[in-house]
Amino acid sequence: MPVAVTSQAVEEKVVETIVSFGPPEDTVSREATFEELDVDSLDLVELAQVIEDEFGVALKGDDVKDIKSVGELVDLVVSRA
């Protein structure tokens, strides 16, 4: 069952997932870009799947192709909930 979609909950899950891709947790912030974090398109697909599983918010490729930062992704997920 999806959990409550709050900015804090989404941000925590996004940070946790990105850290699992390799970047140190202290480098992952709302302002951090995926490029800075070395998060590639395959990582973004996996991240979108995690978000859908966790929050019930489906993100398609077109939804995330223009997203550049962690904060933009968090705001998109919250707005779609």
The closest of 11, 13, 18, 7 to 54, measured between CA atoms, is 13
Kindly name the residue from 26, 40, 53, 62 that is annotated as catalytic.
40
Annotated catalytic residue 40: yes
Planar angle of CA 28, 32, 35, nearest 5 degrees: 105
Which residues are catalytically annotated? 40
